[in-house]
Structure formats: C-alpha cells, structure tokens
Structure 1
Amino acid sequence: MVLKAGTPETSLLRILFLGLSTLASFSLAQLKVHVPTGLYKLEAVEGKEVVLPAWYTVTRQQESSSHTREVSVLSWFFQQEGKELTQVLTYFNGALSSNPRVSLVHPLPTRNVSLRLEAVQERDSGTYVCSVNVQNGDGNASVNHDSKSIELKVLVPPAPPSCSLQGVPYVGTNVTLNCKSPRSKPTAQYHWEKLAPSAQVFFGPALDTVRGSLKLTNISTAMSGVYVCKAQNKVDFSQCNVTLEVMTGSKAAVVAGAVVGTLIGLMLLAGLVLLYQRRSKTMEELANDIKEDAIAPRTLPWTKGSDTISKNGTLSSVTSARALRPPKGASPRPGTFTPTPSVSSQALPSPRLPRTDGPPPQAVALSPGAVSSSVLSRMGAVPVMVPAQSQAGSLV
C-alpha cells in the first residue's frame, strides 16, 4: 500500500509519527533501531534483489516487564530528493500491508525488521526510513519510538555499446573509431584494443576513455584488423567491435570512383524523372488547351446548281448541262460528236441565258473532227461567252 502525499492517511501518519517521537522522550523505556555499522549507503544492481538490514533493541528494564507488547507499529518509508515521503510497508495491530516487490525478511513478531526489495529498478534509488514503535503493556501510556535511515543507490550495468568508423581508411590518412553505450550508471569508461595476430592495447592521448573515441593517425596496411571497444563500470561491462581495412591508393581510387559514380547515377536518374514528369505535365496542359480553343470546321456554302471553278483557280469551258444533252427522244446522228465538258471543269448546270432574235453568230473555224456551231444550234445548244484568261491566271 502506498500513501500519496497530501492524502488524509499521510497526514494522520505524520501526526502519529511526530506524536510517538514526542512521547518517546518522556518514556522510561529505551528502544533503539540499528543498522550495520557505517551502512548508511547501500548499493544494488538493477534487476537484482537487495535487503535493507535493520533491527531494534530495548533496555533490560523494558525486557523484564511481563506486560510488554513489542512492535506495536512498524513502518518503512521511502523518499527521493525533492519529493514527498511515501510509505512502502506498514505493520499495525497484527496486519501487514506493503507495495509490490517489497516484503519483510522475517515474519513478525521479531526484532529483525529487515526489508527486502525484489527486482530493483533505477527509480528505486533513494532514502529508506525504518520506524519502530513499542508501547508498554502495564497500563501506562508511554510509547517507545526510534528510527534509522538507509540510502539505496541502484547501479545500472552498461548497455551494449555501438561501434563506428569515421573517415576513409586508406594509407596515410587519419581515422577515428567511436564507441558509445546508451545507458550506464555510473557512467561507463571506454577501452579499445586490437585483436590478434597483431594484438595491441591503446592509451591516451589517442584514447578518450570518457567519450569512447580512438584516433589513429597516418595509418598503414599493418593496422588493418578487428578493434574491440569495452564499456565498463563498477557493475559489469559490455563490448562491440569494428573491422578496419586499410586500403592502398588504387583501392581507394576504386572506392572513391564507385562512390562518385553512384552519386552521379542517382543525380542523373533524379533528373530524368523530373524531366519526364515536367514533359508529361506540359503535354497534358497543351492537350487541355487544344480541347478548349478548337473550333468546329465550317462547311463551304456550295449549292447544287452553282458553277465550279477548275483546279487551277480559273474559269474555263463553262457550259450548260441542258445544252450538252440531246433533246428527249432524239438520238445522235451518225458521224456526229457529242461534246463533253472540259477536263478541267465539272459538268454542273449553269444559269440559262436568254435567247436573242438577232442573226446567228458567225461560224468559227473548227479543227478537223470538231462539231460545227450550226450542228450545235440544231442540237439546241446556247452560245456562251467565255471570259478570257490572262497568263497570270486572273479573269479579264
């Protein structure tokens, strides 16, 4: 049972503790609590068991009384620096209560009131106070009280350290071997040694026993080997090791080249990735812009009965489809040639021109095999004015 500071139970125990101390000064009986001579400080190893030895004695006069009832109240208190007093064990009116891992070495009633702590932790370090109260049984109210304190310090063995190599180990350079334990109480001291076949033990100033560093200067291939660091305090020790392989100039160049090549390769790979991502982003933005700005193509307003311009952009041989067709039901005469539209124009119908009552146009000399104008008139053809075309390709 733990009584925390500020609770009514703690206040009551304090009053009882002070009251018993005051009454003890008026008692005729003498009670004395003892601890081993000079044992005011006790050390224990973390995780182990420790016994805080304590016992009490009474005067001959008190022992001769047949009505004496010993160990009326027994208490063990624990206090750390800067913190309140707490109770870890109490025996009152035959009832015993205590914290976990806390017990008495001997069962009561007995004058040996030693305290046992099991599996101690670093947080168990502090001051332990043993208080014994014995009341007379002859009807008097006199109470005998005494107390003694023991300071306990829990030691922590060094945790396994970590070893590392600082520097590039090639011939003629300097390197540093580092060693550090994450937890140790008291603080660990560090020692370095080189294993066989060329065993060696190192000392200052190359060795720093507090920081755990070993500086090796102007190293050579003969200094290659396994180096062991030992972290040690008064409780125990633990160790780690590191392998030193001193390289010659050629090996160092190869290693340096490999490192530089790796770094360059990583930089190039990162650059390619960034370039690919940027290009993908640009293409995506361009596609989005095209989709937003695109306009549907217009359909040219060509009508079915309009004239068609030739491929070279000029008008030529524009005729009427109706003039080129023979009359309905008439068949072409033998030896006549049915004119067809020029190859450079499409045979689309053109607007029909009005007929005139004037004299017929004069015949034009035709080349052999061509159809005369009179024949075309009889066939119902209509004369058409063809615009002249200049050499530049424009209409006149």
Structure 2
Amino acid sequence: MIGGVVSYGQPVQVRSPIFARVGESTDLPCTYSTSATDGFTLEWRYAAPGTPAIQAERLLYYNGNMYWVGSDEDRMALVQNPPVQGTATLRISNLQPSDTGLYICDVTNPDDWSGSGQGLINLSVLVPPSVPTCRLNGQAYVGSDVVLTCQALYGLPVPIYSWSREKNAAPISLNNMVQDPRTGTLLLRNLSAPFTGKYTCTASNALGSATCTVTIRVLIFGATLIIGGAVMGTFIVILLIAAVLTYFIWCKKRRTKQAQEKSEMREESKPPSYRSSRRTPENAPLRRGASRQEHPELRPSQFSFVV
C-alpha cells in the first residue's frame, strides 16, 4: 500500500494538500508494501500549478541506482536511501514559492503489479505577501469618481487587502468609499476637498503583511482648465515670439543680400577709363578763315608730294 496511492486500474485520487512555510523543510510521504525485486523502480515527478499530471517532469529515478534530474538535488533527498524497504518519502529543504505544485510518486514492481501504483500529493508553499503596487485610476477633480488599485505579485495564502487613510484626515461618508478586500480596489465617489490626502493599502495573509501608499489631490475642474489654458497660452506666446524673431532675422539677411547684389551690379556696369577730352592740335578743327600757315603743323612736310 502506497500512501496517497491507489493500485493501477483504479481512479487516481488526490489527497489532502500539504502546506509548509517558505524557507522550511517538509516531507512528501510515499510508502509501499511490495518487495523490491529485479526491475523495481521508483520515480518522482513534478507538475507546476495548472499543468496536467501527464506533463509532469521527472525529478529522480531509481532502478538500482539513483538518477537526479535538474538542479534541485541539493535541496531534495529520499528519507530512505536506497528506497527498497517500503518507504519512498521525498524530503525538500529550504522551500521556495516555485516548489508549489503537484508531486507524483510512482512505484513499479514487474513481479507484483498489485503492489505497484501512483501517489499524488499537492504541495503549497506559504509565502507572505510581496510589497503591493498602488495606483490611482481616473482624474481627481471635484465631483468625479476614481478607483484606487492595490496588487501584490505573490503571496500564499492569497492576500486580503484593506485601505486606510492617514490620521487626522477629514471625515468622508462611508457611502462614498467602496472597497473590495479580494481584488484590492477602492472606489471613491463624488470627490470633494476632504478626499485630498494619503491612502494606504495593506496586503496581508497568515504569514505577514506589506503596504503601499498613494496620494490624492482633488482639484476644481475649472481650475484645472485654467491651469491647462495658461500653460497652453504660454506655449503659444513662446511660439509666436520665436516666429517673429525668425522673420526679422530672415528679413535682415535678405536686405543685406539685396544690397550686396546691387553693389555688385553697379561695379559691373561702370564704363572703362576714357581718354582726356582735351583736343590735340592734330584733331582740332580749323578756324574759319585760318590758313595752314597759321598752323605750320598742318603744312606738308618737305618730303610730301603735292598732287
């Protein structure tokens, strides 16, 4: 007879689960009545929560020699080693949250099938709640509703949540505060100035508790719009000033460029240096009635031929 085990061909039964605290040690009992003969085997398998038993992974296998699978050999051991005297109990030390799940003890004796069978044991590692996370959902202005949420990532048993306010806080009607201890939500209805303050959530179970806080500042909706409008107005003014400065800088650069271009055009259109306007004797016209004798330079030279 195997503890928590029925013979092959009968429905598999799940026994009462085992609870143990994180960091402690616990035994997963498994006993059998058959004699260990040639071919006798023992196998322990593990399935994480939500995993079908058929997909359980092997932890150890014994068939005359011990074979450990995985990295948990340093935390696991058989109470009786070798397990041939009717005891196949598995001891786990320094329990971790990841040890929670279904354990299967499988004894097989080819010479005695009636003494062979499987045992299913559920192990739950008890863990105090982790530090929860608090959040504000919604806009905290007068007349609105908001929801505060609180959630711990782990904790076993499942944590219970409770909300409280700081000391000397202004009184609030209980009808405007609705909390759910299972989900950790707190609904605040029809906000007003007294709702302003710090809210503390406590997640607790049999092993301990942890807290987080969130602060609410209730604003008048109109004031919120005014503040938002002022911020937007300031932003628009800054954009306008930047645009005007950019325009003036562009105009100044354009005028400078135009003046430079005009100066270059004047330089290119200036006429080349011209000759002196004084007339030389060679090209000066004769006065009326004047003869060439008065202008000897106009008389033919002695080498000239007169035709």
Q: Give the TM-score, by structure 2 length.
A: 0.62
Given the superposition, is the C-alpha separation of residues 183 and 291 from structure 1 closer, same or farther in structure 2, using an over 3 Å criterion?
farther
Residue 176 of structure 1 is aligned with which of 135, 146, 154? 146
Residue 90 of structure 2 is aligned with which of 115, 118, 130? 115
1:56 is aligned to: 31
1:353 is aligned to: 284
1:298 is aligned to: 268
CA contact (8 A) 2:60 2:66 kept: no
CA contact (8 A) 1:158 1:233 kept: no
Deviation at 1:34, TM superposition (A): 0.2
1:369 is aligned to: none
Structure of greater Rg: 1
Q: CA separation in 1, counterparts of 2:100 and 2:163?
A: 32
Residue 177 of structure 2 is aligned with which of 177, 198, 206? 206
Alignment of 1:1-396 (within 5 A): 32-35=1-4, 39-43=15-19, 48-49=23-24, 51-58=26-33, 72-79=40-47, 80-81=51-52, 84-102=55-73, 103-109=76-82, 111-117=86-92, 118-122=94-98, 124-133=99-108, 141-142=111-112, 144-153=115-124, 157-164=129-136, 166-168=138-140, 173-174=143-144, 176-181=146-151, 183-184=153-154, 189-197=160-168, 206-209=177-180, 210=183, 212-217=185-190, 219-221=192-194, 223-232=195-204, 236-244=208-216, 257-273=226-242, 297-305=267-275, 307=277, 320=278, 352-356=283-287, 358=289
Q: CA separation in 1, counterparts of 2:63 and 2:247?
A: 82
Deviation at 1:226, TM superposition (A): 3.2
CA contact (8 A) 2:2 2:33 kept: no
Q: CA separation in 2, counterparts of 1:262 and 1:238?
A: 40
2:304 is aligned to: none
Give the 3-state SS of the residue equivalent to 2:58 in structure 1: strand
Q: CA separation in 2, counterparts of 1:163 and 1:147?
A: 47
Letter in structure 1 aligned against 2:41: V
Question: Which string of whole-angstrom CA distances, capped at 9 and with x for unpartnered residues, describes residues 180-239 of structure 1?
Answer: 326246765543222323597986773141361321435344x55432222346765432
Q: CA separation in 2, counterparts of 1:72 and 1:281?
A: 95
Deviation at 1:115, TM superposition (A): 2.4
Given the superposition, is the C-alpha separation of residues 104 and 302 from structure 1 closer, same or farther in structure 2, using an over 3 Å criterion?
closer
Q: CA separation in 1, counterparts of 2:204 and 2:256?
A: 70
Given the superposition, is the C-alpha separation of residues 51 and 294 from structure 1 closer, same or farther in structure 2, using an over 3 Å criterion?
farther
CA contact (8 A) 2:30 2:89 kept: yes
Deviation at 1:267, TM superposition (A): 3.6
Q: CA separation in 1, counterparts of 2:186 and 2:197?
A: 17
Letter in structure 1 aligned against 2:104: V
CA contact (8 A) 1:165 1:175 kept: no
The alignment covers a number of residue pairs equal to: 273
Deviation at 1:92, TM superposition (A): 2.7
Given the superposition, is the C-alpha separation of residues 227 and 82 from structure 1 closer, same or farther in structure 2, using an over 3 Å criterion?
same
CA contact (8 A) 1:185 1:233 kept: yes
Q: CA separation in 2, counterparts of 1:269 and 1:289?
A: 30
Question: Which string of whole-angstrom CA distances, capped at 9 and with x for unpartnered residues, describes residues 370-390 of structure 1?
Answer: xxxxxxxx9x9xxxxxxxxxx
Q: CA separation in 2, counterparts of 1:353 and 1:264?
A: 84
Give the 3-state SS of the residue equivalent to 1:298 in structure 2: helix
Deviation at 1:148, TM superposition (A): 0.5
CA contact (8 A) 1:101 1:119 kept: no
Deviation at 1:294, TM superposition (A): 10
Deviation at 1:150, TM superposition (A): 1.7
Given the superposition, is the C-alpha separation of residues 285 and 40 from structure 1 closer, same or farther in structure 2, using an over 3 Å criterion?
farther
Q: CA RMSD in A?
A: 5.0
Percent of aligned pairs with the same residue?
15
Q: CA separation in 2, counterparts of 1:182 and 1:283?
A: 64
Larger RCO (CA within 8 A; separation ≥ 6) = 2
Q: CA separation in 1, counterparts of 2:280 and 2:214?
A: 109
Give the 3-state SS of the residue equivalent to 1:58 in structure 2: coil
Q: CA separation in 2, counterparts of 1:53 and 1:132?
A: 14
CA contact (8 A) 1:192 1:201 kept: no
Given the superposition, is the C-alpha separation of residues 201 and 96 from structure 1 closer, same or farther in structure 2, using an over 3 Å criterion?
farther
- Give structure 2 stretches of 5+ with no counterpart: 6-12, 297-307
Q: CA separation in 1, counterparts of 2:96 and 2:236?
A: 54
Q: CA separation in 1, counterparts of 2:261 and 2:123?
A: 82
